[in-house]
Chain A
Amino acid sequence: MRLSSKTADRLAGWLFIAPQLAGSAVFVFAPLCMVLWYSLHEWNVLADSFEFVGADNYQALLDDPSLPSVLRATGIFSVGLVVFNLSLALLLAVLLNQRLRGLAVYRTLFFSPVVVSLVAWTIVWGFLLQSNGGVNGLLQAVGIEGPNWLRTGPTAMVSVIAVQVFKNVGLNMVLFLAALQGVPGELYEAAQLDGASAWTRFRRITVPMISPTILLTSIITVVGSLQVFAQIAVLTQGGPGTSTTVLVYYLYQQAFQFHHFGYGSTLAILLFVIVLALTLVQWQLRRKWVVHEQ
């Protein structure tokens, strides 16, 4: 049997995307459907019971007294991370876009934490941030008595954000650097001839020209910030109190430590909805933010 050329083309198209589609089906869509299914059940792993409870877990979500503080901690972490990470990455990218001696060394230095194991990185920072650790040792050397970083609420959150920023700022820096190098030099020359200051050139030329990259990095960073886990697990275990108990860590506690797999799955659905909503909002706002989308 001979296939018509249109059918053959369609079949070839499906065959080309089949590996990707199969991967997504097995590792994304199927687990997503299973999590949705689990969220409708009370699953006690030890007792081996799996009971359909309908929307009970969703009702429990609405009634959960811990959830507001968890969402607040998640929001603080995400905002802190996005602002600190993107600002620092852009600053470093602008600095490293100059003609400096040893430029390659600096770029490698700032990028190197990205390739370090996250857990190893966090464990080392755990030691550095102890009351008698390296950070306070440095502060003491200049006459400052440092706080007990991981043992009080505000400094614990700042510490967790900083550890994450220093780990990943290099990735955003490289993306910004690539974008900066794509900005035509004539634009700056023309602006300079018109008497524009450095700040005006940055605001009126650099930022608009690299806005697609700013959108990309902000989406990656926001989504990444909502998925933070290892740093919390290693550095604070959600404490002191519940000040650094973010959504993913709370989900982990409910499902894997407290054995409430059904409720844990409900929290996973909540996380999915939040990530989806934020990504859609950012995507919609791109028309306003991103120059090339207009």
Chain B
Amino acid sequence: MRMKTALAVATAALLGLTACGSGDDPAPTDTGPVSLRMTIWTANEAHLKLFNEIAGEYKAAHPNVTEIKFDSLPFDTYTTALTTQIAGGNQPDLAWILENSAPDFVSSGALVPLDDTLKKTPGYQFEDLGASPMKLWQQQGKLYAYPFSTSPFGVFVNNDLVKKAGKPTPAELIAAGNWTWDTALQTASAVNAATGKAGLVVRDFDYKSWQNLASFWGGWGAQAWSADGKTCGFDKPEMVEAMTTLHKAIFTDKALPGPGVSADFFAGDAAMTITQISRASLLKNQFGWDLVPLPKGKVGDYAVFGQAGIGVFKKGKHAAAAQEFLAFMTSPANSAKLAAYFPPPRTSQQTAETLAKTNPLLKPDQLQKVVVDGIAKGAVGPSHAGFAELSQTVRASLDPLWQPQADVKAVLSGVCAKIAPQLAKA
């Protein structure tokens, strides 16, 4: 009896090991009950309601899929939490991926190439996906994550505060052909002087998430690093000029709230904020507001957009089912629904009319100028292999800049000296 038990245990262990060892095999088609999990960084009720509606339709058509769970992780530590789950062997089936960590995920080999599944899905219209939004998520011609959101940065304006300061509104400045960083910062400074409220807030920057400043320095044609990721751009003349302007705006003109000062535009504490259209859901009509494109910079009109992709993990429990669900979730019909919050990569849907149907808060003109034109002429924010480490080094070396007496040029040269070894590894 004892021998039989020992044999049974040994056989079970062997079977278990064999199962563990088969991780590199292609994922089999799921036939049994399937439970899918997607990690996301939004906890917005409206977003979750839409996702659950789409998931509900999918489950109705696929009885073997018993559950599709959207697992909200905090945005600030999203990538860290996701990689910790992966390290613990608890990877989700699908995950949202931030644009700045796209190079790490795309090149890691952890994600399933999606082209075949998407192309063979009836009615998917794969060729409708724009080349520009897809670029960051491809490697050697294969798509490793679907860029479900390509969202340009725009400027939300509290017209009531601007008028109270006796300044023309940004819409009036645009009409006069005078919506530039000079006039924008003058307006912001005037609001602060007249009302005590903050002028301009670069949302989520907080003197730490420096990558959000790309929406500002893009106006001078500056970049954090070269397109191939090998050369530092912080010490280039255009960056020095942009950051000198920003430093003066913060510490001399008080156009932006200084370090350690909080001001929430959506609570009516600031005249303007740079952010993406998905934040429009935070507006509660407490004040007269507008959404306008980024002001003209030294290089003229420009735009910067942020992106988010959805990837399927090779080692997820149900990789095949996850790909099929992704194809359903991003089909032309569902993509149009998602466009209410996340501008889609589908060229046919990047029109003001399509976006207006699902964005009742925003006028077609605002959507055309900020979103449609923004995607067409914009560039994606900074991203790089090993971004988290690089970003931390930049953050630490930029800290001396956020002092009133800072030597802007010296600090920016210091940033390049610090990150050069990391860029060289790229």
Give residues in A with beta carbon < 8 Å to B: 43-48, 127, 129-133, 148-152, 237-242, 253, 256-259, 261
Contacts and interface: CB of A to CB of B under 8 A. Distances in A.
Interface string B187-213: 000000000000000000001100000
Closest CB pairs A-B (n = 8): A131-B260, A46-B108, A240-B399, A258-B389, A45-B87, A151-B259, A257-B388, A148-B260
Nearest to B111: A46
B261 A130 contact: yes
B208 A237 contact: yes
B105 interface: yes
A172 B402 CA distance: 38
Given A47-B110, A257-B80, A131 B399 contact: no
B83 A131 contact: no
A259 to B, nearest CB: 6
B262 A130 contact: yes
Contacts of A257: 79-80, 388-389, 392
A42 to B, nearest CB: 14
B104 A46 contact: yes
Nearest to B314: A48
B400 A45 contact: no
Given A48-B110, A151-B402, A259-B83, A242 B396 contact: yes
Nearest to B87: A45
A47 B80 contact: no
B386 interface: yes
A132 B261 CA distance: 6
B358 interface: no
Interface residues of B, number: 30
A45 B86 contact: yes
Contacts of A132: 260-262
A243 to B, nearest CB: 9
A151 B260 contact: yes
13 contacts: A46-B105, A47-B109, A48-B315, A127-B262, A132-B261, A237-B395, A240-B396, A241-B396, A253-B392, A256-B80, A256-B83, A257-B392, A258-B392
A76 to B, nearest CB: 17
A47 to B, nearest CB: 5
A194 B400 CA distance: 60
Contacts of A46: 83, 86, 104-105, 108-110
Contacts of B402: 151, 240
B313 to A, nearest CB: 10
A131 B258 contact: yes
B260 to A, nearest CB: 3
Contacts of B64: none
A209 to B, nearest CB: 46
Nearest to A45: B87
Contacts of B334: none
Contacts of A237: 208, 395
A176 B87 CA distance: 43
Contacts of B108: 44, 46-47
Contacts of A241: 396-397, 399-400
B348 interface: no
Contacts of A239: 208, 395-396, 399
Contacts of A253: 392
Contacts of B105: 46
Chain B CB within 10 Å, residue with most, of A131, A148, A258: A258
A48 B109 contact: yes
B84 interface: yes
Given A47-B109, A239-B399, 12 more contacts: A44-B108, A46-B108, A130-B260, A149-B260, A151-B259, A151-B260, A240-B400, A240-B402, A242-B396, A257-B80, A258-B386, A259-B83
A253 B259 CA distance: 23
Nearest to A129: B260
B87 A261 contact: yes
A258 B80 CA distance: 9
Nearest to B23: A48
